[in-house]
Amino acid sequence: MLAHATPTTIAVRVRGLSDRAIAWLFIAPTIALLLAINIFPLIWAVYLSFTNFRANRPNAEVEGVGLRNYQRVLNDPDIWIAMQTTAHFVFWTILLQTVIGFALAYLIDRKFRGHAFWTTVILIPMMLSPAVVGNFWRFLYQPQIGLFNYIVSFFTGIPPSSFEMLGSVILAPWAIIIVDTWMWTPYVMLICLAGLRSIPDYIYEAAEVDRASAWRQFWSITVPMALPFIMLAVLFRGIENFKMFDMVMLLTGGGPGSTTEVASITLKREAFESWLTGRSSAFAIILFVAVFGLANIYVKALNRVKQR
Amino acid sequence: MRKMTKALMGMSSALVLSTAIPGLAKADELTLCWAAWDPANALVELSKDFTAATGTTMKFEFVPWPNFADRILNELNSGGKLCDLLIGDSQWVGGSAENGYYVKLNDFFDKEGIKMSDFAEAAVNAYSTWPKGTPNYWALPAMGDANGWFYRKDWFAKPELQAEFKEKYGRDLGAPQTWDELKQVAEFFTGREIDGQKVYGAAIFTERASEGITMGATSALYPYGFKYEQTGGKYDMNGAVNSADAVAGLEAYKALYKCCQPPGYTDSYMGEGLDAFKSGQVAMAMNWFAFFPGLYKDEKVGGDRIGFFVNPKQKVAASTLGGQGMSVVANTDNMDGALAYIKWFAQPDVQKKWWTLGGYAVHNAVLNDPTFKASQPFAADFLVAMNQVQDFWQEPSYAILLQAMQKRLHDYVVADQGTAQEALDSLVNDWKEIFEDEGKL
């Protein structure tokens, strides 16, 4: 009743305004802001994607080019290579972060002595800025003075200067995957930990009574009940890594060559270095539709899992 | 009545505020935009004389090189009012002239008696004119520059190394004259232990994101005979960009990278090259002449320990052009002040002081001075370099052209993909597509 009384009182005070009008009044600034900084640029980008507009040629006549920008983007082999690089990066980071993150969450959930301290320590990388992490790992990967090469050398006997994590075509993509996994596994761990802690103890107690083994309990209780949380973590990390830019830019700049040039770096180069605004808008729309479509399919799957 | 008063007050406040914001840029204040590097500090020092003479306060916006183009071109494209004066890269002239970002200075030069014939011809052509070769001036040559080399003179002078080198190559160990010699010297030093440290032959440009590898590789391509077009202005690139000479030049650059670059220098440009040299990792390094005054003054590697040489020739003598012209940004609110600065900067005495402070003046009063060659250990090389410079495309579409070259070169040199011929053939195709879009082909 109280919840109803408050807006009624306001409505009485503000004469002539209905409850609905007051509600609109409250949300209008948010909607205006949303329209200004999200919806309008999106619509504008859609418009630009059908033109030959270049931001560095403000005086040039803007002409409609139909679907030409989309055709060029979709027929550009370099863009498909960038998409493959992105897919490789997204797949391996998600796989590693999910497996390691869940394993860490499972360990932390055992509540061993000092688990709170170790939880805090594990969370540190996630709290750092990607710019700091990128520069920090650039030094670690330095072949002559970098700690990473020395550690690998210590365990394998390979001379530290004999391999370059960021300069090798084979190793550079994995160098980025290692850094992203180091930084964001704690995030996945946190979500998984929330999932594990949401499982009621009585289910395990009932399983104990039924003499279910620990292995059976893990696969029949822990995993299915934590699955919605794991899927949520995968969704968040998938979306984030699909648009990964800063860390890759700092670590390799997309190199060597174009080996680590993920889609977002290609997009930035097209838009702000080559100034092909129309074409880069088309690429951005394609990326947006791809992420939006995949995320929607995934969310439907997530809802189904939740309802089970 | 009260409502009306409030409304009027509100409107007048809005009016005052709206007119006050542009007014924040005071008439007696100028903002000059440039890259953040050693010569910029010299310009700050030099500009104190302008402030003393005119009372105009100088503000500076210096952007680190890797972000310089991004930051400043964004500023120009968005119609920003940050810069009154801009010392912009030579490749920007075409686009900035055609898009109306720079003020055309011909009338101003005529009125003030500023003659372009007072400046080095190569510098005027590179930094000031658009279209190229026409007397349409969009900038005053401000900072001459080219890609040059420096080496550890003290290492080269070691008797045991001299003897070993002479025995191996049959000539004295000294500054290389050709690209073949450059590679021999670089190989000679690579892997050697000097002063208790393993050293490498040469630090060269490999940077991917902005312009690094293009500026480095063209220092090999030009001397080997690379040309952008078979006939100037015809855009007939096939057979020029991917000629046998160009392929040989690119292979030479990759060979130097493979044999003699220190480990980890896969994305290195000016800063990284300077670090490699100053930390005693390399015997030689390429970099812009702009850094040479600072290097010569360096306590650890400067003075008698450092020597300089102009980019080695091969088939022809050539150097990659750097340097910039000073332009008035068309959007400025202080046009008179900006033009006054240009007028002041163009004076022979100011140009002479500019050189003594570490700026590379290209005024003939400086370059033709009998004492110029002996004024700095790299001054004579600078003169040679400026007489043999070649520049990248200065077309309005230079940014896309540059990105295409960055990609093709980095893919071949650093990522080891394909052959030099394939890289340059692909580059021709990229550039053809760009010029077709421009309606020039």
Contact assessment for residue A22 and residue A7, using Cβ atoms and an 8 Å cutoff: yes
Can the peptide bond before residue B223 be classed as cis, meaning omega within 30 degrees of 0? no
Query: For an interface test with B, which of A52, A53, A56 has the most B Cβ atoms less than 10 Å from its Cβ?
Result: A56
Q: Which residues pair with B319 in a beta bridge?
A: B389
Contact yes or no for A59 and B415 at CB 8 A = no
Contact assessment for residue B35 and residue B65, using Cβ atoms and an 8 Å cutoff: yes
**d(Cα B164, Cα A124) in Å, to the nearest integer?**
54
Q: DSSP characters for B275-332?
A: HHHHTT-EEEEEEEGGGHHHHHH-TTT-GGGEEEEEPPBSSS--EEB--EEEEEBTT-
In this complex, which of B99, B263, B407 lies closest to A164 when CB atoms are compared? B263
**Average of pLDDT values for B104-125?**
94
Q: DSSP characters for B215-241?
A: HHHHHHHHHHT--S-SSTTS---TTTT
A256 reaches B (C-beta below 8 A): yes
- Model pLDDT for residues A281-301, shown as the tens digit of each residue: 999 999 999 999 998 999 898
**d(Cα B294, Cα B108) in Å, to the nearest integer?**
35
Report the chain B residue with the minimal C-alpha distance to residue A276.
Answer: B400
B-chain residues near A258 (CB < 8 A): 407, 410-411, 415
In the predicted structure, residue A146 carries a pLDDT above the cut 60: yes
Give the count of alpha carbons within 13 A of A137, CB side only: 26
The alpha carbon of residue B367 is apart from the nearest alpha carbon of chain A, in Å, by 36
In the predicted structure, residue B26 carries a pLDDT above the cut 80: no
Q: DSSP characters for B37-103?
A: SHHHHHHHHHHHHHHHHH-PEEEEEEE-HHHHHHHHHHHHHTT--S-SEEEEETTHHHHHHHTT-B-
In the predicted structure, residue B44 carries a pLDDT above the cut 50: yes
- Model pLDDT for residues A81-131, shown as the tens digit of each residue: 999 999 999 999 999 999 999 999 999 998 788 888 999 999 999 999 988
**d(Cα A215, Cα A222) in Å, to the nearest integer?**
10
In sequence order, the 6+-apart residues with CB closer than 8 A to the CB of B101 are B76, B95, B329, B330, B331
Closest CA to B394 of B280, B233, B241, B284: B233
ipTM for the complex shown: 0.78
Closest CA to B23 of B388, B274, B334: B334
B-chain residues near A142 (CB < 8 A): 264
Contact yes or no for B266 and A272 at CB 8 A = no
Helix orientation angle between A77-108 and A115-127, rounded to the nearest 10 degrees: 160
Cα–Cα separations (whole angstroms), residue A270 to A68, A79, A273, B91, B140: 16, 10, 6, 18, 31
Give the number of other CB atoms < 10 A from CB of residue B30: 25
Alpha carbon B18 to its chain's center: 40
Query: For an interface test with A, which of B400, B401, B431, B434 has the most A Cβ atoms less than 10 Å from its Cβ?
Result: B400
- Model pLDDT for residues B170-195, shown as the tens digit of each residue: 999 999 999 999 999 999 999 999 98
In this complex, which of B70, B100, B412 lies closest to A272 when CB atoms are compared? B70
Contact yes or no for B73 and A56 at CB 8 A = yes
Strand, coil or helix: B403: helix
Question: What is residue B67's predicted lDDT score, i.e. its pLDDT?
Answer: 85
- H or E stretch at B390: strand B389-390
**d(Cα B288, Cα B211) in Å, to the nearest integer?**
13
The alpha carbon of residue B357 is apart from the nearest alpha carbon of chain A, in Å, by 33
**d(Cα A308, Cα B2) in Å, to the nearest integer?**
66
In the predicted structure, residue B2 carries a pLDDT above the cut 50: no
Q: Which of A299-303, B54-58, B177-181, B228-232 is least confident? A: A299-303
The alpha carbon of residue A284 is apart from the nearest alpha carbon of chain B, in Å, by 18
In the predicted structure, residue A151 carries a pLDDT above the cut 60: yes
Mean pLDDT highest for which of B84-93, B130-139, B160-169?
B160-169
Query: For an interface test with B, which of A51, A78, A144, A170 has the most B Cβ atoms less than 10 Å from its Cβ?
Result: A144
For all residues of chain B together, what is the average pLDDT?
91
Contact yes or no for B410 and A252 at CB 8 A = no
Contact assessment for residue A85 and residue A166, using Cβ atoms and an 8 Å cutoff: no
B-chain residues near A134 (CB < 8 A): none
Closest CA to A283 of A122, A38, A82, A70: A70
B-chain residues near A272 (CB < 8 A): 70, 74
User: Which amino acid makes up residue A115?
Assistant: H
Contact yes or no for B267 and A253 at CB 8 A = yes
Count A/B contacts: CB-CB distance under 8 Å: 91
Contact yes or no for B403 and A274 at CB 8 A = yes
Question: What is residue B66's predicted lDDT score, i.e. its pLDDT?
Answer: 81
Contact yes or no for A144 and B264 at CB 8 A = yes
Contact assessment for residue B214 and residue B204, using Cβ atoms and an 8 Å cutoff: no
In sequence order, the 6+-apart residues with CB closer than 8 A to the CB of B8 are none
**Average of pLDDT values for A231-235?**
94
pTM reported for the whole predicted model: 0.84
CB within 8 Å of chain B, chain A residues 185-224? none
**d(Cα B326, Cα B392) in Å, to the nearest integer?**
19
Residues of B with CB under 8 A from a CB of A: 69-70, 73-74, 76-77, 79, 95, 98-100, 207-209, 262-267, 281, 396, 399-400, 403, 407, 410-412, 414-417
Contact assessment for residue A233 and residue A156, using Cβ atoms and an 8 Å cutoff: no
User: Which amino acid makes up residue B441?
Assistant: L
Report the chain A residue with the minimal C-alpha distance to residue B71.
Answer: A272
Q: Residue A268: is it exposed, middle or buried by C-beta count within 10 angstroms (0-12/13-18/19+)?
A: middle
Report the chain B residue with the minimal C-alpha distance to residue A169.
Answer: B415
Strand, coil or helix: B144: coil
Closest CA to A81 of B407, B22, B323: B407
> Helices (DSSP H) in A114-262: which residue ranges?
115-127, 130-140, 147-156, 171-197, 201-209, 214-217, 223-242, 246-251
> Long-range CB contacts (< 8 A, 24+ apart) of B269-273?
B269/B65, B269/B66, B269/B205, B269/B206, B269/B207, B269/B210, B269/B212, B270/B37, B270/B65, B270/B205, B270/B212, B271/B65, B272/B203, B272/B207, B273/B203, B273/B204, B273/B205
Question: What is residue B233's predicted lDDT score, i.e. its pLDDT?
Answer: 86
In the predicted structure, residue B27 carries a pLDDT above the cut 90: no
In this complex, which of B77, B400, B411 lies closest to A257 when CB atoms are compared? B411
Question: What is residue A59's predicted lDDT score, i.e. its pLDDT?
Answer: 77
Contact yes or no for A144 and B416 at CB 8 A = no
In sequence order, the 6+-apart residues with CB closer than 8 A to the CB of B98 are A57, A59, B130, B396
Contact yes or no for B263 and A144 at CB 8 A = yes
**d(Cα A254, Cα B217) in Å, to the nearest integer?**
19
Contact yes or no for A253 and B208 at CB 8 A = yes
**d(Cα B284, Cα B204) in Å, to the nearest integer?**
9
- Model pLDDT for residues A158-170, shown as the tens digit of each residue: 888 888 999 899 9
For all residues of chain A together, what is the average pLDDT?
90
**d(Cα A170, Cα B336) in Å, to the nearest integer?**
57
Can the peptide bond before residue B131 be classed as cis, meaning omega within 30 degrees of 0? yes
**d(Cα B440, Cα B301) in Å, to the nearest integer?**
49
A-chain residues near B75 (CB < 8 A): none
A-chain residues near B417 (CB < 8 A): 169, 257
- Model pLDDT for residues B140-149, shown as the tens digit of each residue: 999 999 999 9
Question: What is residue B407's predicted lDDT score, i.e. its pLDDT?
Answer: 93
**Average of pLDDT values for B73-95?**
91
CB within 8 Å of chain B, chain A residues 56-85? 56-59, 78
B-chain residues near A146 (CB < 8 A): 264
Q: Residue B21: which pLDDT band, with cuts at 50, 70 and 90? A: very low
Q: Residue A16: which pLDDT band, with cuts at 50, 70 and 90? A: confident
DSSP state, residue A51: B
A167 reaches B (C-beta below 8 A): yes
Contact yes or no for B414 and A255 at CB 8 A = yes
A-chain residues near B415 (CB < 8 A): 169, 255-259
**d(Cα B307, Cα B174) in Å, to the nearest integer?**
10
Query: For an interface test with A, which of B408, B410, B426 has the most A Cβ atoms less than 10 Å from its Cβ?
Result: B410
Strands B29-35 and B282-288: unpaired
Q: CA torsion angle for A24, A27, A28, A30 (degrees, to 10)?
A: -170
Q: What percent of chain A has pLDDT over 70?
A: 95
**d(Cα B370, Cα B362) in Å, to the nearest integer?**
15
- Model pLDDT for residues A187-206, shown as the tens digit of each residue: 999 999 999 999 999 999 99
Question: What is residue A112's predicted lDDT score, i.e. its pLDDT?
Answer: 83
Contact yes or no for B415 and A255 at CB 8 A = yes
A-chain residues near B95 (CB < 8 A): 56-57
The pair of structure tokens assigned to A126 is: 């996630």
Q: Residue A15: which pLDDT band, with cuts at 50, 70 and 90? A: low
Query: Which is higher by pLDDT, A10 or A247?
Result: A247
Q: Residue B402: is it exposed, middle or buried by C-beta count within 10 angstroms (0-12/13-18/19+)?
A: buried
**Average of pLDDT values for B358-383?**
94
**Average of pLDDT values for A209-226?**
93
Report the chain B residue with the minimal C-alpha distance to residue A141.
Answer: B264
**d(Cα B249, Cα B390) in Å, to the nearest integer?**
15
B-chain residues near A254 (CB < 8 A): 208-209
Question: What is residue A13's predicted lDDT score, i.e. its pLDDT?
Answer: 60
Contact yes or no for A256 and B266 at CB 8 A = yes
Contact yes or no for A274 and B416 at CB 8 A = no
Give the number of other CB atoms < 10 A from CB of residue B412: 26
Question: What is residue B12's predicted lDDT score, i.e. its pLDDT?
Answer: 43
The pair of structure tokens assigned to B366 is: 């400086």
Alpha carbon B11 to its chain's center: 50
In this complex, which of A78, A161, A253 lies closest to B263 when CB atoms are compared? A161
